[in-house]
Amino acid sequence: MTSETVMTFKILILGESCSGKACVLRRFVENKYLKNHLATIGIDFKTKTLIINNQEIKLKIWDTVGQERFHNITTQYYKGTDGIVLVYDVTNKISYEKIRDWAVKFYQIHNRKK
Summarised one tens digit per residue, pLDDT across range 39-72 is 565 578 899 999 999 999 999 999 876 555 555 6
CB 16 within 8 A of CB 88: yes
Closest by Cα among 114, 107, 69 to 86: 107
Q: Which domains does the chain have, with CATH numbers?
A: 3-110 (3.40.50.300)
- What does the mean pLDDT of the chain come to? 83
Q: What is the mean pLDDT of residues 73-80?
A: 74
Does the pLDDT at position 98 exceed 70? yes
pLDDT of residue 4: 61
pLDDT of residue 69: 52
